[in-house]
Amino acid sequence: MGCIGRIGCLVVLAVLAAVGWIFRDRWLPMVRGGAAGGDTAAVAGREGVWQTITPQGGERARRALASLQQPAGPPTVTVGVADLAAYVYQELARQLPPSADSVEAMGQGDRLNVRASVRLQELGGRDALGPLAGMLGDRERLQIGGNLRVVRPGLGELVVREIRVGQLPLPSPLIPRLLRQGSRRERPEGVSESGLPVRLPEYIGDIRVSGGTVTVTKTVR
């Protein structure tokens, strides 16, 4: 019975280990977040997987970022890529075509990727895309990928490294031109020609994307 009992315990432990491995995406980010001393606003998304942005995700990110401002708040917080994208979407929406819908976000290495379905006419028409226009329809999925950075207190930008229209990547020299034609607001001073400006709370000092999460650090005064 002692041997059988030990075998039974091993079976139970094996089952528990298997269950823990299957659901690791739920508990592992929380363990890492606690070990790093920061708050996790939401379970991190998997790297390279598109996630729909939601108002609920934006609210989670807002609460997490607001904790940085508290006197006893943490020096850093960690939020999911889709949650941060939802938080800043009100700013990005002013620069995306009005017809943009089905907005999703994805973390990939140190890049934030955002995509949406848009009407090409609102990107400056087919003339803005040159010879690529003949291979596209009237409505296509626009994908923008780049790096987030803080320009100065209260202002950040998404430095665009890649734009895809449908399945076609745009040549790098076309990126600033397309951003100028598609933008519906004036570019603030300090924002790069390939950057999309994003207003941020003044207490945010640094933003870093790593896979499916974003680490936000408060300004050191």
- Provide the pLDDT for residue 166: 80
Write out pLDDT tens, residues 180-211. Answer: 765 656 778 899 999 988 889 999 999 999 98
The Cα 120–Cα 136 span in angstroms is 9
Q: How many residues does the chain have?
A: 221
Mean residue pLDDT of the chain comes to 75
Exposed / middle / buried, residue 190 (Cβ in 10 Å: 0-12, 13-18, 19+): exposed
Q: Say what the pTM is.
A: 0.69
Which residue's entry shows tokens 């955002």?
Answer: 114
Looking at the predicted structure, is the pLDDT value of residue 36 above 50?
A: no
Query: Packing angle between helix 2-22 and helix 24-36, nearest 10 degrees?
Result: 80
Report which of residues 123 and 109 the model is more confident about.
Answer: 109
The Cα 104–Cα 115 span in angstroms is 5
In three-state secondary structure terms, 214 is: strand
